[in-house]
Structure formats: structure tokens, C-alpha cells
Amino acid sequence: MVLIIVLLACSTAGFAVAWIRSRRRAMDRAIALESLAATRDRERADSAVTSQRLSAAFGIAPLGVLVLNELGTVVFANEHADQFVNGKQGHAVAETEIAAALDEAMAPGSPMVAATEVELFTPTRRVLGVQTHRLADGAGYAVFVEDLTERHRLDDIRRDFVANASHELKTPLGALSVLAETLGATDDPATRHRLTDRIAEQAQRMSRLIDDILDLALVESTSERAPVAIHSVISEAAKHVEVMSDEYDVPVEIAPVDLELTVVGDHRQLVSAISNLLENAVKYTYTAGDDVRAPVELRAWRDDASVVMEVEDHGIGISETHLPRIFERFYRVDPARTRKTGGTGLGLAIVRHVVLNHDGTIDVESEPGVGTTFRVVLALGEPEC
């Protein structure tokens, strides 16, 4: 009997242990499933945040981004891409070209990456760079559309500049070679004297041109920012032009400048800008050919939160048709006349660049036969301690 009771008790206990174990396993499974679900939820949330981040980043990217599935259906397009491929808003030519580039990318045996350039007339000319990429494992395609208009414009300017500078340098170089040859072939002292004078003149012309090219390169690449006293800019610029002013007999009159007047910028560049304006004023007063040469006037004053600097002359003046172009590199109103005064055609381009570097403005008023006034306006700086 006792044995039966013990056996019964044992089997009940065994059953209970088995039952507890199976419950625990079930609970463990439930916990595992719950944590799996939580992990999945977390992953889903993470991937939603990641895709939110990606689309925000692509949204502000300065290029058009399109992602397509393996069938070529657009599954993502950022805002920038919309202007090229979005029905009515999109540019029809760009859309056609992008579709053609994609067709090529989808053709069997096509390279993983292909690039092409598309020209649009909108009505201004625009150049787009279109790059198609096949995604790894046949996952689809990505297309990047970049506006290359500004890069092309700068390349054109650089190319023109190199061509113009070479041409400008070739002229005195050609003259030097002819003059040297002629010099070698003559024994007449008077002719030799005249020829050496002309050789020196041409060499100076080349040297001025190289100086201006270097100056322009410098103002385009660097610019300091420190308090600059306007009176020191004015007096240094006037000193630069002293020799020319004496040689051409054109005086420079400087109105008294407030010693407190300052701007924040690059002292050397500002002196170079004002010197260039003064040199022009002296040169083009001299070329007017009057017996009595009216002085060039230089003044600077404060106007609210700005500093105004003015260079006024009573020389030959500039006609209205030329005014919009005089700040271009190598542009001269009268190339023959400028050659006589040794102009390089780069002076005003340097001035314009210096003013741009200082976030200022420059304007010009002129009347042929009456004179010219250049006005530079810069933001007023704190007075110097």
C-alpha cells in the first residue's frame, strides 16, 4: 500500500515537473517571439528613420537623384530631379535625354556607369551632366543629374582669358623681335638710339601686362579681412600715381578724409583698386589733349553705414555704348589710343574684383568730352583703436 502511495506520489511529481518544464518552454518561446517582434519593430522604425534621413539628405542635395527598380520604374526622385522629369514642370528635352540615357543603361552588356552632357535652351543656355549607374545585383538603377552651366561658364572665361593674355603678350614680343632684328642690321647711331628706346617701351608694356595678370590672379584667389583706414588707402594710392601725374601734367587733388573712416578688408587690394582708378583718370585726362588739364579729384566720405570713394576726372569720357563692357578683361574703348598710354585692359577688371571681394558696389557716370566719375561703395567698419 505504502509502495503504491509512493509510486503514485512519484509519478504525480514527475508529471508536475514535466508540466512545469513544458510551461517554461512555452513561456521562453513566447518571450523569444516577443523579443523578435520588438527587434523587428525596432528595425522597421530604424529603417523608417534611415530612409527619412536619406530622403531628407537627397532632398537638399545640389543635384537631381533618381532611383529606379530593375524594371526601370522610378521609385524615388528628389525635389531637384523633379524639374527634369516631372511631367508638366519637367523640362521636355531633359526628360527625353534622361530616358534615352536610361534605355542605354538598361540594355544588355551596358557598362555599370555611363555619363553624358545635355544642352538645354531655357531660354538661357544650360548644360546638364547625366550619370546613370547600374546598381549591384540587378537591384535597379540610379541617375544623377548635375547642373554644369556655371562650371562651363567659368571654363569658357578661363579659356578666353588664356587666349587673350597670350595674344596680348605676343604683340609686344613680336615687336621686340622685329626691333631687335632691325637694331642688329643698322650702324646709324640715331636709329639705334630710337630703336633701343622702343625696345625698352615694349619691354615695359610686357612687364605691365604680366604685373596686371598676376594682380588679377591674386585678387581672384586671396583676400584678407582686417580693419583698413581709408585715409591710408587714399594717400598710398595717390603716391602710386605721383610719377604718372607729373609726367602727364595732370594733378590729383585729394579732399580731406575723416581719419576715423574704416572698412574691413584687404588694404593692399583696396590701394590697388583706387590706384587703378586714379591712373585711368590721369591717363584719359591726358589723352583728351587739352592744353590746360583739369585736376583729377579724389574724395571719400561716410554715408550712413557705408564708405563712398569717388574718383572724378574731366577727360575724354566714355560713351554709353561702351559703359556696360569696360569692366570686362581686356576690353578697351579705343585700343589704338590705349596702346599709346600703355593700358593693359585689365585695370577695371581688377577694380571690379576687389570691390566684389569686399561685398561692395562700383558704378560709373560718364559723358564723352566732359569726364568720368567712378564711385566705390563699401560697408563702414569699426573705427581703428
User: Could you list the residues that contact ligand ADP (CB under 6 A)?
Assistant: 280-281, 284, 313, 315-318, 326, 331-334, 338, 343-349, 372
Give least dist CB 146 to ligand ADP, A.
35
144/106 Cα distance (integer angstroms) = 15
Decide: 48 and 127 in contact? Cβ < 8 Å: no
In the block, cell 566719375 appears at 373
Decide: 276 and 305 in contact? Cβ < 8 Å: no
State which residue, 102 or 216, has the beta carbon closest to ligand ADP.
216
300/231 Cα distance (integer angstroms) = 8
139/193 Cα distance (integer angstroms) = 81
Residue 33: DSSP 8-state: H
Give least dist CB 282 to ligand ADP, A.
9
Closest listed residue to residue 349, CA positions, set 298, 289, 280: 280
DSSP codes joined into one string, 62-108? SSEEEEE-TTS-EEEE-HHHHHHHSTTTS-HHHHHHHHHHHHHHHST
CA end-to-end span of the chain: 114
Give least dist CB 356 to ligand ADP, A.
15
State which residue, 181 or 220, has the beta carbon closest to ligand ADP.
220
For residue 31, count other CB atoms closer than 10 A to its CB.
10
What is the DSSP pairing of strand 125-134 with strand 306-313?
unpaired
State which residue, 262 or 280, has the beta carbon closest to ligand ADP.
280
Residue 333: DSSP 8-state: S
Closest listed residue to residue 311, CA positions, set 381, 259, 355, 362: 362
State which residue, 195 or 349, has the beta carbon closest to ligand ADP.
349
363/376 Cα distance (integer angstroms) = 7
φ, ψ for residue 229 (rounded to 5)? -80, 125
Give least dist CB 347 to ligand ADP, A.
3
State which residue, 141 or 284, has the beta carbon closest to ligand ADP.
284
State which residue, 97 or 279, has the beta carbon closest to ligand ADP.
279
Farthest CA pair distance, the chain = 155
Give least dist CB 377 to ligand ADP, A.
18
Grid cell in block for residue 165: 593674355
Sign of CA dihedral 114, 115, 121, 123: positive
State which residue, 125 or 167, has the beta carbon closest to ligand ADP.
167
State which residue, 91 or 283, has the beta carbon closest to ligand ADP.
283
State which residue, 216 or 257, has the beta carbon closest to ligand ADP.
216
Residues in the chain: 385
